[in-house]
Amino acid sequence: MNILVLGSGGREHAIAWALAKSPRTDVLYVAPGNGGTADIAENVADLDVMDADAVLRFVVERKIGLVVIGPEAPLVAGVADGLRAAGVAVFGPNAEGAQLEGSKAYSKAFMEANGIPTAAYARFDACEPALAYVREQGAPIVIKADGLAAGKGVVVAETLEDAEEAVRDCFEGAFGDAGKTVVIEECMTGPECSLLSFVSGGKSLPMAPAQDHKRAYDGDMGPNTGGMGVYSPVPIVTDDEMAAMVAIMEKAAAATAAEPFATDYRGTLYGGFMLTPEGPKIVEFNVRFGDPETQVVLPRLKTDLVDVMAAVAEGRPQDVSLEWSDTWAVCVVLASEGYPGSYEKGKVILGIEEAEDIPGVTVFHAGTRVNADGELVTAGGRVLNVVALGDSFEEARERAYEACDLINFEGKQLRNDIGKRALQGRSAWE
């Protein structure tokens, strides 16, 4: 079949890479794509992925058999709804199901109604009551803009002053409409871990766990980012914790098929977990593949991804049986100088071919493009995802950093400690 992937980041390159390996894939399109997807698919740079009618016209014209929606914004905007209403097989939830990520207040109400363990919270639509609540609770405390804020609407406030500033930022328009409602949560403690599931027909088909590194600099210092590195599996997760996370994802999936939250959810449900002393609790749900978690999860998937996504999109979860590789995967993000703040674009990138000559190494593009001179250049904050597979955690990690050393562009920024803490065991979080 012909397949269309919507999106332009490292996640979409990894998805396209996995789909391209399938014998069921005929022509693969990525809209708008990036410098890496151009090597394995046909980029469609002028297609507005937020316009369901425009996407549908392209689907009809190119005889697309499956549409995979990568980012959250088109899902929240209802692009899947428009396509599905026209009979198109779509991997991605409808707009109502996407509220699990599109509205943190909706998500917390969903968890509360279904007995899903999460942080205690309160929601506010006005500044002064929110400030009064923060003063009553004290710090540390977590302030969240309710809507989509490009990953920047969450503040873990260590002081009361920081918490008050975060509340004011939301209500004074720092995040636009996303901050008109604010969710304030208790600050949970423990390591974080992600467990993604394929969800269809109320059934959860769990993927392999992964652990992201959100902070910009070594030692988990600096501002939060979209993710500076990740690995899978996660050695610090106990068998009991894994079983608890799987059970929570099953409960969440079942709730998407039952009133009052029934949404005919078909796609990925991302469970962001905190491994607290009381057991795993949900920090947040996302309604799409994580980035960069996808870049270490999909290389470990042995099952044909086209088979999986088609079955999920068509409501046939019973036809899916997932098989995983025993290999370890480590991803290190190469970012532009200044990220997650301001950064320059257009820096020439060299060394990717040499890096991919290392056994087990694949480089997924996140923020790249090809310029008028045919050169690959930087075009975003997170530029490349350097992924390495190995028979052990140490081997995968060594290969990833060996590959990173071979890739160069002006201002290259990376963390040098991805996975280092986990190698020390659970005690490194205590």
Q: Given pLDDT bands bounded at 50, 70 and 90, which one contains residue 15?
A: very high
Nearest to 55 by CA among 34, 85, 25: 85
Query: Does residue 2 contact residue 62 with C-beta atoms inside 8 Å?
Result: yes
pLDDT at 165: 95
Q: What CA–CA distance (Å, rounded) separates 104 from 183?
A: 7
Residue 153: the pLDDT is 85
User: Hey, is 54 helix, strand or coil?
Assistant: helix
The whole-number pLDDT of residue 51 equals 97
pLDDT in tens, 296-311: 999 999 999 999 999 9
Token pair of 368 as six digits: 């790249």
pLDDT at 285 over 80: yes
State how far the Cα of 238 lies from the Cα of 392, in Å rounded to an integer.
18
Asked if residue 249 lies in contact with residue 269, where contact means CB atoms within 8 angstroms, the answer is yes
| Burial class of residue 427 in the structure, from the number of CB atoms within 10 Å of its CB (0-12 exposed, 13-18 middle, 19+ buried) | exposed
Asked if residues 66 and 306 have their Cβ atoms less than 8 Å apart, the reply is yes
| Whole-Å CA distances, 281 to 6, 117, 155, 261, 303 | 31, 5, 18, 20, 29
Model pLDDT for residues 168-190, shown as the tens digit of each residue: 999 999 999 999 999 999 999 99
Mean pLDDT of 216-223: 93
Q: Which two tokens stand for residue 397?
A: 């990690």
> Mean of the pLDDT values across residues 3-22?
98
Q: What is the mean pLDDT of the chain?
A: 96
Split at pLDDT 50, 70, 90, the class of 106 is very high
Q: Find, among 384, 389, 399, 395, the residue nearest to 423 by Cα.
A: 395
**pLDDT tens by residue, 38-71:** 999 999 999 999 999 999 999 999 999 999 999 9
Query: If you classify domain 328-425 with CATH, what class do you get?
Result: alpha beta
Q: 280, 293, 270: which is closest to 190 by C-alpha?
A: 280
Fold classification of 191-319 is D-amino Acid Aminotransferase; Chain A, domain 1 (3.30.470)
Element containing residue 216 per DSSP (H, E): strand 215-217
Q: Where in the chain is the domain with CATH 3.90.600.10?
A: 328-425
What is the pLDDT averaged over residues 403-424?
A: 96
Is 21's pLDDT higher than 90?
Answer: yes
What CA–CA distance (Å, rounded) separates 134 from 170? 14
pLDDT of 151 strictly over 80: no
d(CA 423, CA 430): 14
User: What average pLDDT does range 221-232 have in this prediction?
Assistant: 93
All CATH 3.30.470.20 domain ranges in the chain, comma separated: 191-319
| pLDDT value of residue 314 | 97
Distances (CA, A) of 190 to 21, 99, 142, 218, 280: 38, 27, 15, 19, 9
Cα–Cα distance measured from residue 45 to residue 52, given in angstroms and rounded to the nearest whole number: 16
pLDDT (average), residues 80-98: 97
Give me the amino acid identity at 142: V
Q: What is the mean pLDDT of residues 327-352?
A: 97
Q: How confident is the model at residue 223 (pLDDT cuts 50, 70, 90)?
A: confident
What is the predicted pLDDT for the residue at 430?
80
d(CA 358, CA 365): 17
pLDDT of residue 129: 96
Q: Which of 87, 47, 50 is nearest to 72 (CA)?
A: 50
CA distance 363 to 385: 6
**Single pTM value for the model:** 0.95
DSSP state of 165: H
How far is residue 227's CA from residue 73's CA, in Å, rounded to a whole number? 18
Residues forming CATH 3.40.50.20 domain(s) in the chain: 2-94
Helix H segments across 33-177? 52-61, 72-76, 79-85, 99-102, 104-113, 127-137, 160-171
**What does the block give as tokens for 378?**
């930087």
CATH value of 2-94 in 3.40.50.20, 1.20.1270.360, 3.40.50.980, 2.130.10.10: 3.40.50.20
Pinpoint the alpha helices (H) of 230-365.
239-255, 294-297, 305-313, 352-356
Q: What is the CATH topology of the domain spanning 120-186?
A: Dna Ligase; domain 1 (3.30.1490)
Residue 341 DSSP class: S
Walk across the sheet containing 328-335 and list its strands. 211-212, 229-232, 328-335, 382-390, 361-365
